[in-house]
A and B are shown apart, each in its own frame.
Chain A
Amino acid sequence: MDNKRITIFAGHYGSGKTNVAVNYSLYLRNKYPEKEISIGDIDIVNPYFRSKDSMEILKDNSIRLISSEFANSNVDLPAIPPETYALLDNKDMLGVIDVGGDDRGALALGRFAEKIAQENDYEMLFVINKYRPLTETPQAAIEIMKEIETACGLKFTAIVNNSNIGVLTKENHIISSFSYAEKVSALSGLPIKFTGAEKSLAESLKGKAENIFGMTLYVRQSFK
């Protein structure tokens, strides 16, 4: 998989952006053992279940987490840390940006849009999930995609199909999401970068599907 210096994950609220972003940063670590890698959490919408939940695994893999000190705290401050600029200004660093859901979350990305566009070494990935009611149809997904682009002032460059139905996700859920993702791709003119699947599912999908990105689920509640 090719990558750019900066990879931005945005999409509908609850589409799984944070999990994908955390896993993608671990993938980059694997690919570039020597590089400096940062993940920037600029989610100003979601109060719980943040990339900060994955702090330990990121730390263990020498991935710098740039996250608001108020994330997962008891206050409701939609703050973005100034260190986010390190991710943009340090051109030797690989950066992953985890954006908050929908157009509301993407507004925060707009703050950095000019810098990102100027450098022009970025990918912006639209994370989609067929099993989320407000993006159930390709048309609805495109609508949200356009709202996000308008809010942040950047255009998406590819799609990540993260269709899943939580713990109940089976092979057939993922396979039957392919035609959905292809329609989103056709309507938007954007390629599909990969389809995300939990690691054991990714394993069993080998030979049955292409371009599967195996992921470990780090952001999840502690009870069954």
Chain B
Amino acid sequence: MSDKVLMKGNEALAEAAIMAGCRHYFGYPITPQTEVAAYMSKRMPKIDGGVFLQAESEIAAINMVIGVAATGKRVMTSSSSPGISLKSEGLSYLAGCDLPALIVNVQRGGPGLGGIQPSQSDYFHATRGAGHGDFHMLVLAPNSVQEMVSLVFKGFDLAEKYRMTAMILSDGTMGQMMEPVSLDMGEIKQYDKPWALTGTELKRKPNIVNSLYLKPEELEVKNFERYEKYKAIEETEAMYDEYMMEDAEICIVAFGVASRVSQNAIDQARAQGIKVGMIRPITLWPFPKKALLKASEKVNAFVSVELSMGQMVEDIELATRCAKPVLLCNRVGGMIPTTEDVLNKIMEATKVGGAK
């Protein structure tokens, strides 16, 4: 018999975190991610050592995350776009303290209160400006409920490996839709955490977790060290998926829900004899630069399909050194590009890029 269950994306995020050993969740409700908190509130009290706490605000929740992360335990918070803005200060402190934690953003339309329908317009926030100071987060973008599960495991793993914050950058549709999913992800990797605040028992020197450096020279060294680490991550950890790229003359770049729609459009375009494929970034930071640069040698044009005003476009242009035109196919405000929207843009690309 099948070992699969039927889950909402948001529920899968929560259950996967528990399966991955997370026993501390702090959050605050906001549509369209509330099911993460709701699920945690039902499950955590039934698990040995499980803590669910609805904080008084998103800011309180992220600071609770910092506290638990400092002890080396797996910890998670989740929110949707406006709530993630509120957490920004904490994200910067997590980076400054080199702490591993998992943050989930189930994006909705913005800016401001925006709306509750899906969006991908926090791409810049996640990949560049999650808070003040020089830092990056590992950013993972699932495109199915199954990947919600696998990327939660991956996120915790990478976060601990590199002592960084990992963010699951999802969207309202991914969070709300239901798909069959397997929760069995195998063994959880264990990392030594000699830096963690676990109590000295008077047997060792106290650890200090802190982001304040009194001497500018020391803070400079810290920043350089961190960027050495980022460079290594960019070399080795970029994840992506290719779809029908072997003979593609047009390359769609899309993640999350946009990649699902794009795949339908590619199938229809292929049926009409148009050679189009897709590179789907699974990590948005590190961005799969090498794969795109390589593709730019073969294809005539790129089409970035996004639920934003065109944010990932910039990363495609940077990665490919603007070698080929990058077209944008986008819907915003809670709207999702339709298969027809993507098909029309593919047609446009056949002319712009000179593909046959």
Chain A residues within CB distance 8 Å of chain B: 13-14, 46-49, 73-76, 104, 129, 131-134, 136, 164-168, 172-173, 176, 221-224
Q: Contacts A49-B176, A223-B260 given: A165-B2 contact, CB under 8 Å?
A: yes
Q: Smallest distance from the beta carbon of B280 to chain A beta carbons, Å?
A: 14
Closest 5 interchain pairs by CB?
Answer: A74-B115, A48-B176, A223-B260, A131-B6, A168-B180
Q: Does B177 contact A (CB under 8 A)?
A: yes
Residues of B near A221 (CB, < 8 A) are: 173, 177
Assembly CA distance A75 to B8 (angstroms): 21
Quick check: B333 and A165 within 8 Å, CB to CB?
A: no
Q: What's the nearest-Cβ distance from chain A to residue B80, in Å? A: 10
Q: How many residues on B have C-beta within 8 angstroms of the other chain's C-beta atoms? A: 38
* Contact residues, B1-49 vs A (CB, 8 A): 1-2, 4-8, 11, 15, 31-32, 35, 38-39, 42-43
Residues in B neighbouring A167, C-beta threshold 8 A: 179-180
Contact A13 B6 (CB under 8 A): no
- For chain A, what secondary structure do more than half of its interface residues adopt (helix, strand, loop), or is it mixed? loop
Given A13-B35, A132-B7, A176-B1, CB of A223 within 8 Å of CB of B261: yes
- Among A47, A48, A74, A173, the residue within 8 A (CB) of B333 is A74
CA distance A7 to B123 in the complex (A): 45
Q: Which of B8, B114, B172 has the most CB of A within 10 A?
A: B8
Give the residues in chain B near A129, CB-CB below 8 Å: 6
6 A–B pairs (Cβ distance < 8 Å), ordered by A: A14-B178, A48-B176, A165-B5, A168-B2, A223-B257, A223-B263
CA of A14 to CA of B12, assembled, Å:
13
B11 contacts across to A, CB distance below 8 A: 14, 133
A74 with B7: in contact, given A172-B1, A173-B2, A224-B263 (CB under 8 Å)?
A: no
Q: Assess whether B6 is in contact with A224, with CB atoms less than 8 Å apart.
A: no
B83 within 8 A of A: no
Q: Which residues of B contact A (CB under 8 A)?
A: 1-2, 4-8, 11, 15, 31-32, 35, 38-39, 42-43, 109, 114-117, 172-173, 176-180, 183, 257, 260-261, 263-264, 333-334, 338-339
In-complex Cβ contact of A48 among B15, B114, B173, B339 (8 A): B173
A133 pairs with B15, CB closer than 8 A: yes
B116 contacts which chain A residues (CB < 8 A)?
47, 74-76
A48-B32, A133-B7, A168-B2 known; A74-B109 Cβ under 8 A: yes
Contact indicator A168/B4 (Cβ below 8 Å): yes
Query: Which residues does chain A contribute within 8 Å of B264, judged by CB atoms?
Result: 223-224
Which A residues are in CB contact (< 8 Å) with B261?
A: 222-223
**Given A14-B8, A173-B2, A166 contacting B180 (CB threshold 8 A):** yes
Most buried by B among A104, A166, A222: A166
How far is A134 from B5 in the complex, measured between Cα atoms in Å?
A: 10
Most A CB atoms within 10 A — which of B5, B31, B32, B173? B5
CA distance A61 to B278 in the complex (A): 41
